[in-house]
Structure 1
Amino acid sequence: MTEAATSATAECVIHLRYNLDGTVSEIGERPAGVQAQAWYKFLTNHTQDSFQVLSGGRGLFRLPKAQIESLKAACTQELSS
């Protein structure tokens, strides 16, 4: 596989941490100016079978890097409208 093909299909892991009340306190790859809970909600509404619940109030999304970049742009655009 070429380097360009490998980077296009590279998987990225977005880690998150929950507060005791179930809201998201921290989440990776968050676009600038977007609240943690809003980014989590956007990801859950726009992806399928990519979220994994972990113990200790944590979770993660596994997505291709290219998809994350397009989701970040779409989230920023949607929330600014």
Structure 2
Amino acid sequence: MDSITLHVRFASDGTVAEISERPVGLTPQQWFDKLSEAIGMKAYQTFAGGRGVFKVARDQIEALKTAAVA
């Protein structure tokens, strides 16, 4: 399985400020919400300093990105 790590950075108010692999047309928060709904929080790991990562299969991310822009 080819996996990918998506990095997330949160603002001080708890909203998502930056997230990798974000499709054009979605805000960072919208992309985080879509990932959370589709993948679940089991693939998410929280880090200190307002950061975290999703670790998921590359083909799953590509499918979600395609669906998000369709």
In the superposition, the TM-score normalised over structure 1's length comes to 0.81
**Structure 1: any 5+ residue segments left out of the alignment?**
1-8
Tell me which protein shows more strand as a share of its residues. Answer: 2
Question: In 2, distance between residues paired with 1:16 and 1:76?
Answer: 20
Alpha-carbon distance in structure 2 between the residues aligned to 1:76 and 1:23: 22
Aligned with 2:64 (options 51, 67, 71): 71
The equivalent of 1:51 in structure 2 is: 44
Give the TM-score of the pair, scaled to structure 2: 0.93
Equivalent in 15, 24, 27 of residue 32 of structure 1? 24
Give the match's secondary structure for 2:17: strand
Q: How many residues are matched?
A: 69
- Identity level (%): 39
Structure with higher RCO (Cα < 8 A, 6+ apart): 2
**Whose radius of gyration is greater, 1 or 2?**
1
> Structure 2: 5+ residue runs without aligned partners?
none
Aligned alpha-carbon RMSD (Å): 0.8
Secondary structure at the aligned position of 1:31 is classed as: coil
CA distance in 2: counterparts of 1:74 and 1:52, whole angstroms: 24
Letter in 1 for 2:31: W
